[in-house]
Structure 1
Amino acid sequence: MATGENGQDGQDHELREALTRLVRQLVHDEPAAKRRGEDLMPILDEHLGVRADELPVVVERISVHRWADTDIALEAIAARDPGSRLLGVGGGDQRHHSSLGDLMSQAEWGRFSSGQVDRLNVPTGPDSERATVAFGLHLFHHDGSPLVVLQRVGNPQYGSESRLEVLARRTDDAAAMLAELREEAMRRSVLWRQVISFSGNPYERSMSGLVFHPRPDLPPDHVVLPEGTLQQVRAHVVGLAEHRDQLRGKGQHLKRGVLLYGPPGTGKTHTVRHLVGATSQATVVLLSGTEMAHVGAAAQIARAHQPAIVVIEDCDLIAEDRDLNYGGGSPLLFTLLDAMDGLDPDADVVFLLTTNRAEALEKALAQRPGRVDLAVEIPLPHEAARRALIELYGAHVGFSPPAVARAARESTGTTASYAKELVRRAVLLAAMDGREPGDDDLAAATAELQSDAAALTRALLGSGDGAGAD
């Protein structure tokens, strides 16, 4: 019986050998016009001075938001070698499923040949983009050592992740290049002094979920708040940053948290826009709604790109008091607390939070310096503020001062959002009649919004009937 089995094994072995010879013969006999592309193994062997497929592959995974930075840094490092080359890899979709080691092992089957370099366009700012290498081989010398780097972007379709795969005669040479690459990527990062958010909207200028926004230009006279309120917030966000050196010199912490709270529509987001515009040297990460799931990544970006601001709007969605939540609080609450605690005390990072429900916030937010150091109420505007808001939003309309004063007086308990909608409706009433807007339109819009039928609209604008008396 044993002899029979050995005989069968021998036949199987001979069959495999025969099939192997047949495949090799077919590959070698295939017309060059059909094969296309130059075999890459001889090129790699010659560049490295040894058999490439006998060397270990060093892998460096790249985070989504570091892809453009890595592409810029790798191009700069490779360009120092006048003889550097960038080669594409042929082979169709199959190569996306294969590591560099797998591709080299398939070379004898003619499946590791040169092709076009794959490129992926990614944004590098609100109005700029870069055609990064999505799949390509870099051949260059680093500090005299020959290296081969396969650069590939992650592709969810194939379940792959963004990474670099490095071949070097010594792993220390690969490690040294990768260490310099990280430093160069940080120094040249496209995120410095940008305003960014996380999004999966395919119609935005996104880089796998990262979106760049123009920095707002909102002067302080366009922010209508109670006297002294804006100055207080600016001093903590902008002024403190201007004195960072003195504070550090005296051993005082720079990381800080600011909470803006008050009814909906009172101007919290408007105030945030002003602060973002006033800190032109800061890297800003905006989080709201489902984007709050990225709070950990936002803190990492802020830590690496100081000075920085992390804006979390409606923070009560993830920072609700655990005593009010029978489920023990959102998992993101602990991520937020860890992110705020994980920064060094001298980190020039601001966590700028807004909420409509201050009473529902987790108490632990205020228990340590650097979480929330300053809480500022943004209340319903009083009459003088309402008048200023109507003047602001109607600056290009030309309502008379008495008409503006009357509209402000008749809108007790309303918000900044109400004032904006009031002016819009006045202009719309005139436009529907085919004429320029005037005082009568402002009065008509006021009557419309103050009617019983508009109670829900006022509520949606954040206003309450008779609330916040002057």
Structure 2
Amino acid sequence: MRPDLQRAIQTLVADLPKHRFAGLRPRERERELRFADLVEEGSKSVAIGPAAFQDIDIGEAYPVRCATRALWLAEREGVPFALLLDVDEGYHHVRARIEIAARPDAESRRVTARIGEELRAGAAEARCWRGKTLVLDPAREDFEISAAGLRVERAEPVRREEIVLAQKTFSLVERNTLGFVREAERLAQLGLSQKKGVLLYGPPGTGKTLIVRWLVGALEGYTKLIVSAGHYGLLAECLEMARALQPALVVLEDVDLVGGHRDGPWAASGGALNTLLNEMDGLTPEARVLFVLTTNRPEVLEPALAARPGRVDQAIEIGLPGETERLLLVRRYAGSLGVVDDLAARIARQAGRASPAFIKELMRRAAQAMLERGGGNALQWQDVEGALADMLGAGGKLGARMLGADHRVGFAA
């Protein structure tokens, strides 16, 4: 945990007023830096001068300014020592390594061993990251200014009332996530596992991501790690972070990208599925990790992932809303439009099995049609009917499915 290690070093040297600090720059950039390199000459020599820093955003008012390669000279309890820091950014990780050099006597070994333990403990506490929503980014090209490693994800919190879902379904989600977390410690006292996996599945646009965002805000005291399509190459590292930062919520979005049936056409390459299965199995029963997986295509998932308790313990369908929920959605997405009760009810009834995303876009396009005919802000059925025709157009059944509805959209269901 690089920012925590930096803070641990700063705490150490703050109590040593006579310490000296310098930056290090090897002539060969890709080399691993060690104390022995400081006496090299020529092309292998190390330049000593101003230090290079990276500002690491930890989601607080100010970033943590972290040295990349640096040397501290100090004295503690009468023992002079040197501390070397070397940071290397690989694709899969950011590795920070320290070396401590001192005289070869018993007192120096005791003091330097204690310093090493303090630095390791400070880094392992990971206070900079705990309780936050994190994404693990790979290393990027040289022209990128963003560093590899953990990044705090900032997103507007989602309130419970923003989720339009059948009460029975929502209760099932809540009972298997927040409810389970509330009772995790008492379950552990009974000798039961604190690890759980929940699969949310259903058509596109039905609110799976919204539910995840609500959970991220509602799970207080949990560190949340988000793994999406562009980050599955770092899956093993993300799950390692979850173990280190537990209690943790791990969100695996569109898990079918790596969890496809091993014998099917959607099987992922590169051993990603095996990594996922092994990492989920490798967590001890005492591990406080909640997995939430999402997919639009549950039928393609590997049975060893989706149909085995201990990996996925509860599958919950987030389906297309019923007429009651559609009416609530029409009201919500109408905004400040003038929609009389009869028209709202007709839209909800005639829209058929349409997703929240579809209804949101339907109301926007109906508003556009209203403005084009000069209707002020009073919506009429002809605006909605024209919007439906535009949205479906020649796409037919395929167009409906792409917009998060079944082929009966536009007809009472």
Once the two structures are TM-superposed, the CA of residue 450 in structure 1 deviates from its matched residue by: 4.8
Superposed, which structure 2 residues align to 1:37-436 within 5 Å?
66-89=1-24, 93-94=27-28, 97=31, 99-106=33-40, 114-125=48-59, 128-142=62-76, 145-154=79-88, 162-170=96-104, 173-199=111-137, 206-324=146-264, 331-366=271-306, 368-430=308-370, 436=376
| Higher helix content, 1 or 2 | 1
CA distance, structure 2, for counterparts of residue 291 and residue 258 of structure 1: 20
Do the aligned partners of residues 214 and 114 (structure 1) sit closer, same or farther apart at CA in structure 2, a change above 3 Å counting? same
Check conservation: 1:259, 1:375, Cα contact below 8 A: yes
Deviations 1:199-252 (A, max 9, x none): 357899943143311254211121112221112111211111112221111111
What one-letter code is carried by the residue in structure 2 that aligns with 1:129? Answer: P
Cα distance in 2 for partners of 1:464, 1:162 equals 52
**Do the aligned partners of residues 333 and 126 (structure 1) sit closer, same or farther apart at CA in structure 2, a change above 3 Å counting?**
farther
Distance 1:137 1:434 in 2: 71
Whole-Å separation in 1 of the counterparts to 2:48 and 2:297: 60
C-alpha displacement of 1:310: 0.6
- The alignment's TM-score, normalised by the length of structure 2, stands at 0.86
Q: 1:258 to 1:206 in 2, by over 3 A?
A: farther
Cα distance in 1 for residues equivalent to 2:221 and 2:324: 34
Other structure's SS at 1:376 match: strand
- Aligned to 2:58, what secondary structure does the other structure show? strand
SS across alignment from 1:318: helix
Q: Give the letter for the 2:136 counterpart.
A: F
Deviation at 1:152, TM superposition (A): 2.9
Measure, in 1, the Cα distance between the counterparts of 2:77 and 2:247: 33
Q: Secondary structure at the match of 1:246?
A: helix
Shift of 1:100: 3.4
SS at match of 1:285: strand
Distance 1:410 1:296 in 2: 47
For 1:117, give the aligned amino acid.
A
Q: 1:137 to 1:417 in 2, by over 3 A?
A: same
Q: In structure 2, do the counterparts of structure 1 residues 227 and 341 end up closer, same or farther at CA, with 3 Å as the change threshold?
A: same
**Is the contact between residue 73 and residue 82 of structure 2 (CA under 8 Å) also seen in structure 1?**
yes
CA distance in 1, matches of 2:375, 2:67: 56
**1:466 and 2:408 are equivalent in the alignment:** yes
**What is the Cα deviation at residue 183 of structure 1?**
1.3
Checking the alignment, whether the CA contact within 8 Å between 1:206 and 1:212 is kept in structure 2 is no
When Rg is computed on C-alpha atoms for both structures, the one with the higher figure is 1
Deviates more, 1:218-227 or 1:179-188: 179-188
Answer whether contact 1:259 1:372 (CA < 8 A) is retained: yes
Give SS of 1:339's match. Answer: helix
Query: Aligned to 2:69, what secondary structure does the other structure show?
Result: strand
TM-score, normalization by structure 1: 0.76
* 1:183 partner letter: A
Aligned residues: 402
CA 1:135–1:204: 2 relative to 1, 3 Å: closer
How far did 1:280 drift? 3.0
Measured against aligned partners, the alpha-carbon deviations of 1:388-429 in whole angstroms (never above 9, x if no partner) come to 122222244342222221112121122111011112223334
Which moves more between the two structures, 257-266 or 430-439?
430-439
**Structure 2 residues not aligned, in runs of 5+:** none
Q: Give structure 1 stretches of 5+ with no counterpart.
A: 1-65
SS in structure 2 of the partner of residue 248 of structure 1: helix
Does structure 1 conserve the Cα–Cα contact (< 8 Å) formed by 2:26 and 2:46? Answer: no
Helix, strand or coil for the counterpart of 1:322? coil
- Code of the residue aligned with 2:100 in structure 1: it is V
Query: Amino acid of the residue matched to residue 76 of structure 1?
Result: T
Cα distance, 1:148 vs structure 2: 1.2
| C-alpha deviation, 1:447, in angstroms | 4.1
Q: CA RMSD in A?
A: 3.3
1:199 and 1:112 map into 2 onto residues whose CA distance is: 30
**Percent of pairs identical after alignment?**
32
Partners of 1:339 and 1:163 lie apart in 2 by 25
Query: CA–CA distance in 2 between the matches of 1:301 and 1:361?
Result: 25
